[in-house]
Structure 1
Amino acid sequence: MARIGGRNRWIAVPAALLCAAVVGSLVWLSLPMVPVTIAWVGDTLRKATAPQPEATPAEIPARIAADGGAVDCRTIYGDDLWNELLWRPGSLLNQTMAPPPTAATAFADAATPEVVVTCAWRFDAGGIVTTLSKVDAAAASVAAAALGGEGFSCEESPAATVCSRTRAGVREEHTVRDGLWLSSVETRWHPEDYGARLDHEVWG
């Protein structure tokens, strides 16, 4: 059998033994890390498959407001909607205790809202004013009739009354639930599912 040129058996054999010794040493040195690695992989898999904890009732803005706690504009917006509003061109937020600027004055007068917070957003094109108020529990029972009489489309359920109306570029959305009234007036710009996203954040 012909020998491969440039290959010296006297060098190749010791080199192979040296490589094997190095690999064996590395394996021996890594043995103490095997249990740690197995534990890390197990923890990672458990965390990835474990259900994520939901907010407790005490953390929900509706519960905080009902209990008389402090609620501000940042509290009632989820991160995605907050960022969408914040990065709108010309975005400027003014937090006040002003009453809801709704055109449904008859319902506003009947509900006698106790304002928790009003978030007035102004943009280069349009604006949005959202108000969270405390109202009498009976307000939910008259909301659909009062708002429906002013051209709002309403949906009633045992949990809430939700009404909306779009007229001349102004969209109003109202949710009355659990002694709270969430009112939004959107002018010229209407973020997708604005009212539903707010409802989800406020009531969970």
Structure 2
Amino acid sequence: MARVGGRNAFIAWVVGIGCAATLGALAFLALPLLPASVSWVGATVDRPTEQPVAADPLGGNEGGTPAECDQLYGEALWASLRFSDGAVLTPSKDAPTTTATALVSALQPQVQLTCSWKADAGTVATTFATVATDAGAIAASALPGSGFACEAREQRTRCTRTDGDLTETIETGGGLWLSTSETTWHPAGYTDNVAAQLWPE
């Protein structure tokens, strides 16, 4: 390296070593933030590109009734489910997961979408289907005998049953069916959030 006149090599070395030490100290201080930064970048890149579409049972929304699992959830709940530890979503058109098999046989819900989640905390399965418009009245009279507690909501009937770690919810109204089975995993506000996509109040 060519020397520049008027500069002291010793001072240059001292300054250079000082700069290297400063950079090393900054890198050492930044290390604890590295996992959080990587997680944040991954979450940002993997974020859904489309906003969940709220379903309108009357068909007024551009997207109509849900065709994909993300359309069954509000944005906050969708993100919470996706980023839960070990969460895996399996969409299908499987029959409703419920102990109320007699009601399913009687009403014969036409399954449009089943969203089954499995995570470290447990499992959650939700089925969206179409049924006869009088399904709510039938459910309200049939399910209490199976341990369900039923109540009338504005546009629907909601029946809920809890047995240990299992919580089941069946909602019907306006020709729509929504059933959820939660085993050990009970995401906060799940039932109300999903129902609001079908029956906005």
Q: Please give the per-residue CA displacement for 1:20-74, whole angstroms capped at 9, x wherever unaligned.
A: xxxxxxxxxxxxxxxxxxxxxxxxxxxxxxxxxxxxxx96243449x98661111
Alpha-carbon separation, structure 2, partners of 1:192 and 1:157: 20
Structure with the greater alpha carbon radius of gyration:
1
Residue in structure 2 matched with residue 46 of structure 1 by the alignment: none
Residue in structure 1 matched with residue 199 of structure 2 by the alignment: 203
Residue in structure 1 matched with residue 57 of structure 2 by the alignment: 62
Q: Please give the per-residue CA displacement for 1:109-168, whole angstroms capped at 9, x wherever unaligned.
A: 111010010000010121100000000112111111111110011102462101111102
Does the 8 A contact of 2:165 with 2:183 survive in 1?
Answer: yes
Listed as ranges, the matches of 1:129-140 within 5 Å are: 129-140=125-136
Residue in structure 1 matched with residue 166 of structure 2 by the alignment: 170
Does the 8 A contact of 1:71 with 1:117 survive in 2?
Answer: yes
Does the 8 A contact of 1:144 with 1:163 survive in 2?
Answer: yes
2:102 to 106, 122, 135: 106
The secondary structure found in structure 2 opposite 1:60 is: coil
The share of aligned pairs that are identical, in percent, is 36
Does the 8 A contact of 1:61 with 1:76 survive in 2?
Answer: no
Structure 1 residues without counterparts, runs of 5 or longer:
1-57
Does the 8 A contact of 1:61 with 1:71 survive in 2?
Answer: no
Alpha-carbon separation, structure 1, partners of 2:76 and 2:154: 28
Q: Does 1:141 align with 2:137?
A: yes
Structure with more of its chain in helix, by fraction: 1
Alpha-carbon separation, structure 1, partners of 2:176 and 2:126: 13
Residue in structure 2 matched with residue 118 of structure 1 by the alignment: 114
Does the 8 A contact of 2:122 with 2:183 survive in 1?
Answer: yes
* Shift in alpha-carbon separation, 1:131–1:102, aligned structure 2, 3 A: same
Listed as ranges, the matches of 1:1-204 within 5 Å are: 60-64=55-59, 71-157=67-153, 159-204=155-200
Alpha-carbon separation, structure 2, partners of 1:177 and 1:140: 6
The secondary structure found in structure 2 opposite 1:149 is: helix
TM-score between both structures, scaled by the size of structure 1:
0.66
The secondary structure found in structure 2 opposite 1:88 is: coil
Does the 8 A contact of 2:65 with 2:198 survive in 1?
Answer: no
RMSD between aligned residues: 2.3
The secondary structure found in structure 1 opposite 2:177 is: strand
Count of matched residue pairs: 147
* Shift in alpha-carbon separation, 1:68–1:134, aligned structure 2, 3 A: farther
Does the 8 A contact of 2:54 with 2:198 survive in 1?
Answer: no
Alpha-carbon separation, structure 1, partners of 2:123 and 2:194: 16
